[in-house]
Structures are given as C-alpha cells and as structure tokens.
Amino acid sequence: MKINKIYKPFIYTVLIGLFNSCFISFILVSINLGYSHSFLIHWLPMWGEAFSCAILCAYIVPRIINKLMTFITFVEK
C-alpha cells in the first residue's frame, strides 16, 4: 500500500488512538464486568467513546509536550 507522506502524521495518530483506546477500554471493562455474555455489548460502545478521546489526545498532547520540551536543555554529563 502506498500513501502520500503528507498523511503519515494523521495515520500515525489514528493508529495510536485505535490501539490505545482498544486496549485500555478492553482492560477496564474486563476488570469492571468480568467476561460474561454481555461483555461485547458493554465494551463496543465504551471503545467508541474511548477512541474519540484517544484521537484527540494523540493529536494534541504530543504537540504540547514538544513545545514544553523546548524549555529544557539536555546536556551530556
């Protein structure tokens, strides 16, 4: 699959959000409900909500951290 380099940051952000939200929501639902017959019924809507939050965080937070990192001077000992 060939995709223009312009889309690399966007695709990276979406994939990070996808995997993080899937993993975290799966763990939290399994801790709260356990593995029952209604697990998927509860997990899928929660994953959708987590995914929308994760996309925003994966897009915004790295930009803020990069700006904050400019105030730190790293030196070798």
Tell me the pLDDT tens digit for each residue of 28-67. Answer: 888 887 888 888 888 888 888 888 888 888 888 888 888 8
Q: What is the pLDDT of residue 36?
A: 81
Q: Where are the domains of the chain?
A: 5-69
Taking the C-alpha atoms of residue 42 and residue 33, their distance in angstroms, rounded to an integer, is 9
What is d(CA 36, CA 3) in angstroms, rounded to the nearest whole number? 41
Round to whole Å and give the CA distance between 51 and 17. Answer: 6
Q: Residue 8: in which H helix or E strand, if any?
A: helix 8-33
For residue 16, name the pLDDT band (cuts at 50, 70, 90): confident
pTM: 0.64
